[in-house]
Amino acid sequence: MNTDNFYVTTPIYYVNDKPHIGHAYTTVLADVLARYYRSLGVDTFFLTGTDEHGQKVEKAAARRNMPPKQHCDETVVRFQELWKRLGVTNDRFIRTTDEFHKQVVREVLQDLYDRGEIYKKEYSGWYCVGDERFYTEKDLVDGKCPECGREVSEIKEWNYFFRMGKYREWLIDYIQTHPDFIQPAFRANETLGFLKKELGDLCISRPKSRLAWGIELPFDPEYVCYVWFDALINYISGVGYRRNDAEFEKWWPASYHLIGKDILTTHSVYWPTMLKAIGLPMPKTIFAHGWWLTGNTKMSKSLGNVINPMDMIDKCGVDAFRYFLLAEMFPGNDANFTEAAFVSRYNSDLANDLGNLLSRVLKMTLRANEGVIQPPAELEADDLELNAEVDRAVGAMEESLRAMKCDQGLAAVMNAVRAANRYLEKTAPWTLAKKGEVARLNTVLHTAADALRRVSVLLAPVMPGKMAELRAALGYSGDDLFNATIAGLKTGQCDLAGRVMKDTPGLFPRIQLEDAEKPAVPAAAPAPEKSSKPVNVVETIAIGDFARVRLMTARVLEAEKVQGADKLLKLQLDAGGERRQIVSGIAGWYTPESLIGKTIVIVANLKPAVIRGVESNGMLLAAKAGKELRLITTDGEIDSGAEVG
């Protein structure tokens, strides 16, 4: 069984259309994780691919007047080309039309059928083509699919069923006793909520008279396999199940199944019960990330608001696109994509901070030493402080990886970059050069260059191309551009002295997209009458700006003072089934006991922060007038997690 290695998967994507930013995010996230674990010296396997059976694919092929396999062969190229363009380093790209996968599916089906885990019965239900799922009458919402809102059709037919329902109690117990199994934790609560009601058996077949495009059942040639039952098995067929025992033992169970939250049920209910029936261990973690939104709306082909990754890559470059995806989304929550937000983060983090740091170190080293990085003299307090800040970034990045909080790891690295820029302002190497303080000048330039060296290693999994350029500017070449590892950083060894820095154009030139969204400019207001009283001028914002702030209700479960901080309270909240911790400076107005049970309003999509060593995930709202402060609460009972706005 896999205990020390790292095996990460993405969903396998439908080939009924071209990939969009949602596909790109999941795959880039998996790639970044794979690259980081390789950099940590961990044996790693990364699986992605395409789901090529089912009614949606069959209909897409029919619209193009071609056989389904030809449609798949042509459409799959779009995914393969995009992953290549994005620098994705998957170890295997699986297609469910691959013969080895189809044979494994047939063998699994036959085994389950022989053991009585699959049976045949007549069934009547409501079918959604979009989700390719049956629903009961009580499942429907206003007579439509509860998941996607599409029209459903009533179907009555004989089908084969997997005895999923008998594993309900086992699955509830497994989720409750394995807190890492479904992440974030509030997604586990969603699954447990789903399991509170009766869990029926799963229809795993479709009659060929209605759907011919699928894997034929080995025990009944008149039926094909349900697309989800077929697709989920890729996670084991892709690493040698029933074909290569040594390979399978090395990689299974998976470390992470990365999925979008819209396919949580199939992965947290269908898949575990299938594995239990097959007799295999559970994956270590099923991680469901949020959606990319435009405004407050999920990106959807039917709504016409899908962002094409190729367009963004062409405009801004591959590495900048990868960085934005990882830095902008807290993996469990939704995130908004606008070109204005992209440009703002690019110019702030990459151009102003990282690119500027390299430019300053490069110019000073070229001017002072003809580009040769000199060895440092004895380090002073400022040098040690910067080194410690970069050390913290190394530790924070590894910690954030293991907690699936890549955005926080990147924030720690960028904090180190900003610390290096402040270091240059404080030590003023240009002044040292004028004064002829050569030893101190060389120490400062070496220390700043070493910060860049270590940052280049930490950011290489996210921006491999640009970090290779940065290392080239530091004097590295050949394999040294790519083979530095985080494991190597931990040795504390530095090989910069004697390297010759190379002049290079700006690493991240500032950008301004013509079609970037700009904040609304308020109409000019008439000049106020003269008054002796101060005038408060509040800049107006557009409705889209306000929509980016997600306000929701939350119920206070626990409260306590933060040790060593008289003004701070640490609150444990229930925010719609998600347990959150928030730190707030309200101890002067509220005792911990007085807060228990209150329903308050919080900003739910604020980036996490560490306050006095305690992580805070969000911000509560309060009104203050003079010395008085009151929490924003509801005027009556309402569920936690209710949207405010």
Q: How far apart, in whole angstroms, are the C-alpha atoms of residue 271 and residue 181?
A: 12
Per-residue DSSP letter, 247: H
Q: Residue 386 — very low, low, confident or very high, per pLDDT cuts 50/70/90? A: very high
Rounded distance between C-alpha atoms, residue 472 and residue 500, angstroms: 10
Name which of 361, 486, 482, 345 is nearest 420 in CA terms. 361
Determine, yes or no, domain membership for 388: yes
H or E stretch at 219:
none
Q: By the 8 A CB rule, do 423 and 447 touch?
A: yes
463 and 349 co-located in one domain = yes
DSSP one-letter code for 65? T
d(CA 100, CA 601): 53
Question: In this structure, are 342 and 483 located in the same domain?
Answer: yes
For residues 348 and 483, membership in a common domain is answered with yes
Provide φ and ψ at 357, rounded to 5°: -60, -45
Compute the Cα dihedral for 390, 391, 394, 398 and give only its sign. Answer: negative
Predicted pLDDT at 522 = 35
pLDDT band of residue 533 (cuts 50, 70, 90) is: very low
Token pair recorded at residue 598 = 């209150």
Structure tokens at 509: 């030139």
Q: Is the pLDDT of residue 524 over 60?
A: no
In this structure, the answer to whether residues 559 and 440 fall within a common structural domain is no
Percent of the chain topping pLDDT 70: 90
**Given a cut of 60, is residue 570 above it in pLDDT?**
yes
- How many C-beta atoms lie closer than 10 Å to residue 543's C-beta? 8
Q: Given a cut of 70, is residue 305 above it in pLDDT?
A: no
The answer on pLDDT for 296 being more than 80 is: no
Q: What is the mean pLDDT of residues 75-94?
A: 95
Predicted confidence at residue 521, as pLDDT, reads: 34
Residue 370 φ/ψ region, left for φ over 0, alpha for ψ in the -120 to 50 degree band, beta for the rest: left
Question: Any idea which of 64-73, 433-442, 485-494 has the lowest mean pLDDT?
Answer: 485-494
402 assigned to some structural domain: yes
Give the pLDDT mean for 206-211: 92
Mean pLDDT of 118-127: 89
Q: Is the same domain home to 473 and 589?
A: no
Size of the chain in residues: 645
In a domain, residue 264? The reply is no
Rounded mean pLDDT of 353-363?
96
Assess if residue 399 is contained within a domain: yes
The answer as to whether 84 is a domain residue is: no
Backbone angles phi, psi at 276, to 5 degrees: -60, -45
DSSP 349: I
DSSP 16-58: SS---HHHHHHHHHHHHHHHHHHHTT--EEEEEEEE--SHHHH
User: Cα separations (Å) of 128 from 143, 204, 621?
Assistant: 11, 15, 42
Look at residue 404 and tell me if it is in a domain. yes
Residues 435 and 353 in one domain: yes
Quick one: tokens of 358? 């390299």
- CA-to-CA distance for 125 and 211, rounded, in angstroms? 16
Which residue intervals of 293-405 are DSSP H helices?
A: 309-316, 318-328, 339-345, 356-369, 381-402
Number of domains in the chain: 2
Q: How many Cβ atoms from other residues are within 10 Å of residue 244's Cβ? A: 11
Residues 348 and 439 placed together within one structural domain of the fold:
yes
Average pLDDT, the chain: 88
State which of 437, 469, 489 marks the end of a domain: 489
- Who's near 169: CB < 8 A, 6+ residues apart? none
Instruction: Give mean pLDDT, residues 46-66.
Output: 93
Per-residue three-class SS string for 69-138: HHHHHHHHHHHHHHHHHCCCCCCEEEECCCHHHHHHHHHHHHHHHHCCCEEEEEEEEEEECCCCEEECHH
Q: Please determine, for residue 519, whether its predicted confidence score (pLDDT) is greater than 90.
A: no
Q: What is the pLDDT of residues 490-515, one digit of tens each?
A: 888 999 999 999 998 889 998 875 54
Q: Looking at residue 578, which CATH number applies to its domain?
A: 2.40.50.140
pLDDT at 525: 33
In a domain, 570, yes or no: yes
pLDDT per residue as tens digits for the range 153-185: 888 889 999 999 999 999 999 999 999 999 999
Q: Are residues 449 and 556 both part of a single domain?
A: no
Span of 269-283, 293-307, 484-498, 571-585 with lowest mean pLDDT? 293-307
Indicate whether 480 and 571 sit together in one domain: no
- Once rounded to an integer, what is the mean pLDDT over residues 221-235? 97
> At which of 489, 505, 539 does a domain end?
489
User: Same domain, yes or no, for 362 and 485?
Assistant: yes
Q: Which long-range contacts (CB under 8 A, 24 or more apart) does 591-595 make?
A: 592/559, 592/560, 592/561, 593/559, 595/556, 595/559, 595/569, 595/571
Last residue of a domain, one of 489, 516, 536: 489
C-alpha distances in Å from residue 36, one per residue of 247, 461, 485, 620: 22, 6, 9, 35
Give the model confidence (pLDDT) of 411-462 as tens digits: 999 999 999 999 999 999 999 999 999 999 999 999 999 999 999 999 999 9
For residue 460, give its domain range: 338-489
Beta bridge partners of 630: 623
Question: 3-class secondary structure for 203-214?
Answer: ECEEECCCCCCC
* 3 state DSSP class of 398: helix
Q: Are residues 554 and 463 in the same domain?
A: no
Helix (H, G, I), strand (E, B) or coil at 582: strand
| pLDDT band per the 50, 70, 90 thresholds, residue 132 | confident
pLDDT at 466: 96
Residues 487 and 40 sit within 8 Å (Cβ to Cβ): yes
CATH number, position 452: 1.10.730.10
pLDDT > 90 fraction of the chain, expressed in percent and rounded: 62
Q: What are phi and psi of 157, to 5 degrees?
A: -165, 165
Q: Note whether residue 428 is domain-resident.
A: yes
